[in-house]
Amino acid sequence: MKSIDRLKFVRSALYVPASNARALEKALGLSADMIIVDLEDAVPEDAKAQARNAALAYAKAGVGNRLLAIRANAFDSAHHADDVAALKNCAADFVVLPKVEDVSEISDFGVPLLAMVETPKGLFNARSIAGHPTVAGLIAGINDIAAQTGIRPGPNREGLELSLQMIVLAASEFGKPRFDGVCNRLDDLDGFDAECRQGATFGFTGKTLIHPNQISSANAAFGPSASAIAEAEELIAASRGGAQRFKGRMIESMHVEEAKLTIERSRHAMGDVID
Give the span between the Cα atoms of 80 and 39, in whole angstroms.
Answer: 10
Q: Which CATH superfamily is domain 3-222 in?
A: Phosphoenolpyruvate-binding domains (3.20.20.60)
- Of the pLDDT bands very low, low, confident and very high (cuts 50, 70, 90), residue 275 is very low
The DSSP code sequence of 166-230 is: HHHHHHHHTT--EEEPP---TT-HHHHHHHHHHHHHHT-SEEEESSGGGHHHHHHHHS--HHHHH
Number of residues that make up the chain: 275
d(CA 73, CA 66): 23
Name the binding residues for substrate: 71, 118
Report domain extents, the chain. Answer: 3-222, 226-269
The reported pTM is 0.92
Phi, psi of 78 (to 5 degrees): -65, -15
**How many other β-carbons are positioned within 10 Å of the β-carbon of residue 47?**
15
> What are the binding residues?
71, 118, 144
What does residue 11 show for φ and ψ, rounded to 5 degrees?
A: -95, -35
Write the pLDDT tens digit of every residue in 227-244: 889 999 999 999 888 889
pLDDT tens digits along 80-105: 999 999 999 999 999 999 999 999 99
What value, to the nearest 5°, has the Cα angle with vertex 94 and ends 273 and 11?
A: 45
pLDDT tens by residue, 113-145: 999 999 999 999 999 999 999 999 999 999 999
Residues 6+ apart with CB under 8 A from 114: 69, 94, 95, 96, 97, 135, 136, 137, 138, 139, 179
Residues of the binding site for Mg(2+): 118, 144
Q: Hey, is 102 helix, strand or coil?
A: coil
